[in-house]
Amino acid sequence: MSAPDSEADAALKEFVADEAGMRIDQWLAVRVGPELSRSRIQALIRDGNVTVNGTAMREAKRKLSTGDRIAIIMPEPEPAEPEGEDIALDILYEDDDLIVINKQAGLVVHPGAGNWTGTLVNALIHHCGDTLSGIGGVRRPGIVHRLDKDTSGVLVVAKNDKTHRALSEAFADHGRTGDLERAYDALVWGSPSRATGTIDAPLGRSGTDRTQRAVVRETREDARHAVTHFTVLDRFGEKQDATAMASLVECRLETGRTHQIRVHMAHIGHPLIGDRDYGKAFFTKANRLGEPLGNAVRAFPRQALHARLLAFRHPSSGEILRFEAPHPADLSELLAEFRRWSDAGKT
């Protein structure tokens, strides 16, 4: 399958079929599956936005012939101007160039499908007015990096384009040549066999749920290099063979892929407690904990992940800024329950 025509319009994707007999919706799902869902592809076909050899093709079942030229016309998204909303923010630092937030769990960073209001962007627009950087686009003003909805912790937002560019470059480099430092605390099931380690495993879209990620072969088209370094900070219910029921692990990212820590820890057999996407198979482990810890684990509403530390060089002053956010109440309480259980020797 050929690559998109580099001279095509930005809203136009063009391909040439190099095989015959496959349905056009199936062929496109293979070619652009990481970008568009099967249902979205079929909707584009129904609406006449897919052409074969210059003719609109409205039948998803139409089979391709070798050499057919396929084009997808991507309609412009409807403009969505987020409005400011008076949402409380835990501000760790603010100046004319940037603002650093301790994001609470449950807060979506920017508007998107199913979350057009009540996001961090809505809160920032209310707080900052028109001072946010426009580089991120109308739906992502000022956003340099993101945290999952149910991940808490430190996040920096740019107020002007100069700061946005500088911070974006630092995050793209992930501190390899600069001064960026990020550390996350994760409460995971079990305990890695080594106190420190590195997970080097490429990530791509999951084959069963396109909203999720999975470790994939390097040769896959959507594979993205991903490296996580971890250090075990504490073990709960540790046994003589050095295994444990759960562990508090610090994770530092060498790359920043979607759901990276969650997928990588699950990949090595230690999914995050509370992770309903990547740790479902471990949920029954709570039954082995007794009460009240078992109930606390079952009731924990999110993945136990907190962006504890963020340090970076200020784009204007050149000063190294370093911010740490303590564990939020829900995670602190869960850790306290694990420590009480572990100290009581209930393994």
Q: 100 and 48: one domain?
A: no
Q: Are residue 52 and residue 95 in the same domain, yes or no?
A: no
Q: Please give the pLDDT value at position 35.
A: 66
For residue 132, the 8-state DSSP code is S
Domain contains 311:
yes
Instruction: Report pTM.
Output: 0.76
Question: Does one domain contain both 160 and 245?
Answer: no
Residues annotated catalytic, as ranges: 148
Q: Which residues are within 8 A (CB) of 166 and not within 5 positions of it... i.e. 6 or more apart?
A: 315
**Secondary element (H or E) of residue 200:** strand 196-200
* Burial of residue 103, with CB atoms counted within 10 A of its CB: 0-12 exposed, 13-18 middle, 19 or more buried: buried
For residues 324 and 257, state if they share a domain: yes
Q: What's the pLDDT band for 1 if we cut at 50, 70, 90?
A: very low
**314 is in which domain, residue-wise?**
183-343
pLDDT at res. 10: 37
**pLDDT band for position 5 (50/70/90)?**
very low
Q: Are residues 227 and 107 in the same domain?
A: no
Report if residue 82 sits inside a domain. no
**Integer Cα distance of 36 and 78 in angstroms:** 17
Flag whether pLDDT at 347 surpasses 60. no
> Do residues 20 and 164 both lie within one domain?
no
List pLDDT tens digits, range 259-277.
999 999 999 999 999 999 9
pLDDT band, very low/low/confident/very high, at 238 (cuts 50, 70, 90) = confident
Total domain count for the chain? 3
Q: Look at the alpha carbons of 52, 40, 43, 38 in this order and tell me if their dihedral is positive or negative.
A: positive
Distance CA 266, CA 278 (A): 6
Tell whether 7 is covered by a domain.
Answer: no
Q: Is the pLDDT of residue 2 over 60?
A: no
- How are beta strands 50-52 and 69-73 bridged, if at all? antiparallel
The amino acid at residue 267 is H
The strand order across the sheet containing 50-52 reads: 12-16, 69-73, 50-52, 55-56
Q: Are residues 250 and 147 in the same domain?
A: no
Domain contains 240: yes
> What is residue 190's DSSP assignment?
S
b/e burial code for range 251-263 (CB count within 10 A of at least 16 → b): bbbbbebebbbbb
Q: Would you say residue 32 lies in a domain?
A: yes
Cis-peptide, bond into residue 292, ω within 30° of zero: yes
Cβ 151 vs Cβ 303: under 8 Å: yes
Each residue's pLDDT tens digit, 199-213? 999 999 998 887 899
Q: What confidence tens digit (pLDDT) does each residue in 64-115 have?
A: 998 899 988 877 654 457 889 999 999 999 999 999 999 999 999 988 777 8
Q: Is residue 6 part of a domain?
A: no
Same domain, 192 and 165: no
**Is residue 197 domain-resident?**
yes
Do 187 and 336 fall within a single domain? yes
- CATH value at residue 274: 3.30.2350.10
Q: Which residue has the tokens 């030229």?
A: 69
In a domain, 1, yes or no: no
Give the CATH number of the domain where residue 23 resides: 3.10.290.10
Instruction: Single out the residue in 173, 205, 228 at which a domain terminates.
Output: 173
SS3 14: strand
